[in-house]
């Protein structure tokens, strides 16, 4: 199989990873990349899971769990936070 890379930046990144010695060849790099994508899509630790059919209750429970201990500083409103993010 032949795979072509059309993005110069992507080709540079692939070559850089191989030159670094972390990967011996493109096959090894792609294998690791695909494993990482599969792990992420099957319930990795990222904020958003790629689980396609989550019930509303499960989604709500997930959000509540992720928010535990997260509080705005005293006197700050959500609007203040939004405005700060835009600055």
In a domain, 1, yes or no: no
Contact 59, 53 (CB under 8 A): no
What is the structure's pLDDT at 52? 58
pLDDT of residue 73: 81
pLDDT recorded at residue 30: 92
Q: 59 lies in which domain range? A: 8-86
Task: Report the Cα 10 to chain-centroid distance in Å.
Answer: 18
2 within a domain of the structure (yes/no) = no
In a domain, 3, yes or no: no
> Tell me, what's the pLDDT at 14?
92
Report yes or no on 43 lying in a domain.
yes
CB-based burial label for 26 (10 Å; 0-12, 13-18, 19+) = middle
In a domain, 29, yes or no: yes
The confidence score (pLDDT) of residue 62 equals 83
Residue 35 within a domain: yes
Low-confidence ranges of the chain (pLDDT < 70): 43-53
> What is the reported pLDDT for 53?
64
Number of domains in the chain: 1
In a domain, 20, yes or no: yes
What is the model's pTM?
0.45
| Tokens found for residue 32 | 């690791």
Does residue 22 form part of some domain? yes
């Amino acid at each position: 199989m032949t795979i072509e890379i059309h993005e110069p930046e992507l080709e540079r990144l692939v070559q850089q990873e191989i030159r670094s010695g972390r990967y011996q060849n493109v096959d090894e790099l792609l294998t690791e990349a695909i494993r990482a994508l599969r792990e992420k899509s099957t319930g990795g630790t990222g904020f958003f899971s790629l689980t396609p059919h989550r019930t509303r209750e499960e989604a709500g429970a997930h959000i509540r769990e992720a928010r535990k201990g997260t509080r705005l500083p005293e006197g700050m409103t959500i609007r203040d936070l939004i405005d700060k993010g835009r600055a």
